[in-house]
Structure 1
Amino acid sequence: MRGPNGGAAARGVVAGPAGAAAGFARVTPSNRYTTAVGVRTNYNHWDIYGGRWYTDHPGAWFAAGWATGAAWRAASWASVGAWMDYYPTTPMYYDYGNNITYENNNVYVDGQDAGTTEQYYAQATELAKSGATAKAPSDGDWLPLGVFALTKNRQTNAIVTIQLAVNKQGVIRGNYTDTKTGKTMVIQGAVDKKTQQVAFTVGDNQSNLIETGLYNLTKDEAPALVHIGDGKTEQYLLVRLKNKDQDSADADSSPTS
C-alpha cells in the first residue's frame, strides 16, 4: 500500500493530530484469529441478549417481533447483500493498516485520499449522527448482525459485548454492554450505502464512535476503529460470539487478508 508521491503508507501506531495515536497498525489474519480464539475461550456471559436478559434490562434496544435468541444470529454477505439491495456490488473490507492507511495526517482508502484525519472523523461522525436521528421504530424490519466482543489485538479478556442490527434503510441499532459492571447503553448509527462504512455511537456520548465495514460484520473477526473525539483513534477487533444455546446462523468465515 502506497501513500502520496509513492511514499510507503504508515505502519504501526502513528502520530495523529496533536500527536495522538492514529491506530493504523497492520494486523494479520492469523493474529486476529489467535486473539479471537482466546477471547471466545475466556468469554463467560452467554446469558446476555436472551429473553430473560431483556426483561431485566428494560432500557436495552430490542427489535419487536424477534424470537428469543434472534439477536445472536450471524449475518452472511449473501443475507446482508439481499437485505440492503447491494447485488451485484462487490463487498468492501475495511482492513485498517492494510487497505486503509494513514500518512502525513491524511487517510487513504484503497490508495485514494479520503481527506485529513479530522475530515475522516467528521465524515464518520455525520454518518453515525444520520442514523441516530433517523426514524427507525423497533417494530420495523431489522436484520440481526450478531453479537461481538470488543477487544484489542492480543488482548483475550474482553469486557465489552456488542449486539448489532440493521434495517433496510441502513440504520444501525443495538446494545453495548460492559459485562464487568453490567451497564448497557444503546447503539445508534448507520451504514453508508455507497462506501459500506459503518459508524455508530454509544449511549449519550456523541463525540466518541466506533467504525468498521458492513462486510466486516459478516466475518468471525472484524477490524474496527474507535474514534475518541477528533484527536485520537485506536484500533480494535470485533470478535463474533456464537452461542450454542441461542438461535444462530453461520457467518461468512472465509479468510480475508
Structure 2
Amino acid sequence: MKTRILLTVLLMFSFVVPLEAVGINRGGKGSKGGHASRQASKPKPSNKGHYRPQTRPASKPASRPSKPAARPAPKPSKPSARPATRPSAKPATRPSAKPSPKPSTRPAGKPATKPSTRPDKKPDKPDIGNRPDKPTTRPGKVPDKKPGKPDRPDIGDRPGRPDVGDRPSRPGFGGGNKVPEPPGKKPRPPRPEWDKPHKDKDHKYTKDTVNWMSNNRDTVNKFDRDRDRRWKDIDDHWRDRDWHKHWGDRDYRDWRRDMWHYRGDRCREVWYHNRHHHYHDHFFNVHWWGSCYWYPRPIVYHHCSPWWWWRPVVWGTMGYFFGQALSPDPIIYDPGTTVVYEGDTIYINGESAGNADEYRRETIALANPELEETPMPGPPELAEDASEEEIAAANDSEKPTGDWLPVGVWALTQQEQGDATMFLQLSIDKEGVVAGAYKNVMTGDEQPVAGQVDFKSQRVAWHVGEATQTVYETGLSNLENDVASVFVHFGESQTQTWLLVRMPSPEMPGETVKLPEVTDK
C-alpha cells in the first residue's frame, strides 16, 4: 500500500518539476550527453547570410551547474492506512413494526378457531329404483280399426298385379301385346331409319380429315412462313394511288392472281386448324335448329341428311332453283379485286359506280328486307309414308325441290391472318330472301341471319341479329367457291374486306380448294 502511494506522489511530482531540473532531456536521455542535448544547445543562424564564428570557446566550463541539493517537499501524502475501526454497526434491532390496524383478537361473538370438520354431506339423491315408477301402460290404445271401415286385405289376399310380360308394351319397344289400332284406321307403317344412310359418313369424314391434314401439313407451314412477305406485296399494290386505273392491264392480272392464290392458302389454313373440331356435329344440324331461341319448336326431318344445311352449291343448281329470275351467266362481283372503294368513289371493273356513301346506303337497304317473321330455312317436308323416290328427290343436291336452297356453312375471318371463331349458315328461298344463323364459338352468341339477293346485279347482302347497320355483301357466284371475299360495311362511312371460308361437312369430300377461274379479263 505504501509503495502504491509513493508511486502516485512521484507521478504527480513529474508534472510539476521541469524535466531539465531532474537531469532528463526531451530526447529521453540523461545529462551526461547525447546527440539530442548537444543539438539543442547550438545556436541557430538568424538567416542564411551569417557565417559560423571563426573561433570556438577556449574550453568547456570546468563544472556544470550543480543540481539542487534537495527536491521540493512533496505534497502531503494520503493516510498510509485506513482507520482501524469503521463506524459502529447499525442498531441490532429495527424499530418495531407498524401497529396493525386490525385487532389482535377476533370479536367475542365469532369462534376463535374454524370448525375442524365440515358439516355432513347433503342427503343422497334417491336411487333410480326409489323414484316413482312410470306407468307401464298408456291410457287406452288406438282402436285396431275405425268404426265403419272394413279390414284391409292381407298381402296374400290382395289381387295380384299383372306381370311385366303381361302388360301391353309401348309402340316400338317390343315385348307384350301391342295396343290395338282404333277401328277403321289403317295400321301405322314403321318409321324409316332416316339416319341409316348417314351412320358411317362421320367415321369416314374423320378418316378423310386425318389423311387430308397429313397431305397438306407442309403447304400450311410454308404459307405461315411466307405470309408476311406475300401479304406485303399484295397490300402495297392495292394501296397504290389510282389502283383502279390498272384494271385489266398486266400488273392488275398478276396482282389479282396473287390475291386469289393467297386466299386459297388462307382457306387451307382455316381448314387445317378447324377440321378436327367436328363443328358439323354441334352447329347448324337438325338438332341445333330445334333449340335456337328464335324458332323454339321441335323440328323433325326424318327423311333428310342431318347436315342438309352444310351442302355446297354450284351455279347450275342455282339456275335450276331460281329459274328465269337468274341469268345463266354469272357476274364476277369480287369485293377487293373487281370491286374497290377509293376515297368517295366505288369502282367496279375499273369504272366508277357512283358515290361510295350512297352505294353503302343501297347495300344496307338490300340487307334489311321487310319480313313478317324471322325465316327458318329447312329441307322439303314430306309425309311419313313418303316413297323412296320422293325421299331421294328431296335429298338431290343438284335439283332441289324444296322452298330453300342451302349454300353452306362459312367461317367469317380476316384476309391476312387470324383464327376462325365466327360461323354463318346461309340459305336462299325462291324469292331471293336470305336466311340462316350466326354462331360465335368464343362467346357462344347465336343470332338469326336475314337478307336478300339482287338478281339483276347478282349481289347478295345480309345482316346478323339486330345489328341492321352492319351488313355483309358479296357476289352470288362467289358462294359456289370454297373461299369468297366479302365486304363488311360499318354504317355508311366505313368498309372492310374479309373472307368467307366454306366449312366441309361429312358429305363434302376433302379435295383441293375450289377457287374462281383466273381469266385475262
Q: Same fold (TM over 0.5)?
A: yes
Q: Cα offset for 1:202?
A: 0.4
- Higher mean Cα deviation, 172-181 or 66-75? 66-75
Q: Cα offset for 1:99?
A: 1.3
Q: Cα offset for 1:88?
A: 4.9
Q: Cα offset for 1:83?
A: 1.3
- Higher mean Cα deviation, 194-203 or 139-148? 139-148
Q: Aligned pair in 2 of structure 1 residues 155, 77: CA closer, same or farther (>3 Å)?
A: same
CA distance in 1, matches of 2:300, 2:478: 26
Q: Aligned pair in 2 of structure 1 residues 63, 148: CA closer, same or farther (>3 Å)?
A: farther
Structure-to-structure mapping, 1:4-153, within 5 angstroms = 7-9=242-244, 28-43=259-274, 44=277, 45-47=279-281, 48-59=283-294, 67-85=305-323, 88-130=327-369, 132-133=370-371, 138=376, 141-153=403-415
Q: Cα offset for 1:57?
A: 2.8
Q: Cα offset for 1:135?
A: 7.1
CA distance in 2, matches of 1:214, 1:161: 18
* Residue-pair matches, total: 235
SS of the residue corresponding to residue 207 of structure 1 reads strand
Q: Cα offset for 1:108?
A: 1.4
SS of the residue corresponding to residue 157 of structure 1 reads coil
Tell me which amino acid in the other structure corresponds to 2:442: K
CA distance in 1, matches of 2:499, 2:335: 11
Q: Percent identity?
A: 30
Aligned residue number for residue 95 of structure 2: none
SS of the residue corresponding to residue 368 of structure 2 reads helix
1:79-131 Cα offsets, whole Å, 9 max, x none, are: 0122122565311122223211223410011234222111111110111122x
Q: Which segments of 5 or more consecutive residues in structure 2 lack a partner in the other structure?
A: 1-241, 247-254, 379-401
Tell me which amino acid in the other structure corresponds to 1:174: G
Report if the CA contact (8 A) 2:245-2:350 is conserved: no
More helix by share: 2
Q: Aligned pair in 2 of structure 1 residues 83, 251: CA closer, same or farther (>3 Å)?
A: farther
CA distance in 2, matches of 1:241, 1:154: 18
Report if the CA contact (8 A) 1:198-1:213 is conserved: yes
1:172-219 Cα offsets, whole Å, 9 max, x none, are: 001111111121110100000100101101001111001111111111
Report if the CA contact (8 A) 2:290-2:299 is conserved: no
TM-score, normalization by structure 2: 0.41
SS of the residue corresponding to residue 129 of structure 1 reads coil
CA distance in 1, matches of 2:357, 2:300: 38
Report if the CA contact (8 A) 1:60-1:184 is conserved: no
Structure 2 residue 440 is the aligned partner of structure 1 residue 178: yes
Q: Aligned pair in 2 of structure 1 residues 64, 144: CA closer, same or farther (>3 Å)?
A: farther
Structure 2 residue 514 is the aligned partner of structure 1 residue 253: yes
1:122-143 Cα offsets, whole Å, 9 max, x none, are: 110111122x537785377000
Q: Aligned pair in 2 of structure 1 residues 63, 253: CA closer, same or farther (>3 Å)?
A: farther
Q: CA RMSD in A?
A: 3.0
CA distance in 2, matches of 1:110, 1:64: 46
- Higher mean Cα deviation, 72-81 or 25-34? 25-34
Tell me: higher relative CO, structure 1 or 2? Use CA pairs within 8 A at least 6 residues apart.
1
CA distance in 2, matches of 1:53, 1:210: 24
Aligned residue number for residue 14 of structure 1: none
- Higher mean Cα deviation, 193-202 or 101-110? 101-110
* Rg comparison, structure with higher value: 2
CA distance in 2, matches of 1:108, 1:180: 36
Q: Cα offset for 1:243?
A: 1.4
1:17-64 Cα offsets, whole Å, 9 max, x none, are: xxxxxxxx9671111011111111111233211233234434369998
CA distance in 2, matches of 1:122, 1:63: 37
CA distance in 2, matches of 1:119, 1:238: 25
More strand by share: 1
- Higher mean Cα deviation, 111-120 or 174-183? 111-120
SS of the residue corresponding to residue 329 of structure 2 reads coil
Q: Aligned pair in 2 of structure 1 residues 64, 196: CA closer, same or farther (>3 Å)?
A: farther
CA distance in 2, matches of 1:175, 1:116: 31
- Higher mean Cα deviation, 89-98 or 70-79? 89-98
SS of the residue corresponding to residue 195 of structure 1 reads coil
Q: Cα offset for 1:67?
A: 4.2
Structure 2 residue 474 is the aligned partner of structure 1 residue 212: yes
CA distance in 2, matches of 1:64, 1:189: 26
SS of the residue corresponding to residue 163 of structure 1 reads strand
Tell me which amino acid in the other structure corresponds to 2:354: G
- Higher mean Cα deviation, 247-256 or 70-79? 247-256
Report if the CA contact (8 A) 1:60-1:186 is conserved: no
TM-score, normalization by structure 1: 0.80
1:205-250 Cα offsets, whole Å, 9 max, x none, are: 1110011111111110011011111121111000011112xx4589
CA distance in 2, matches of 1:74, 1:60: 24
CA distance in 2, matches of 1:251, 1:214: 21
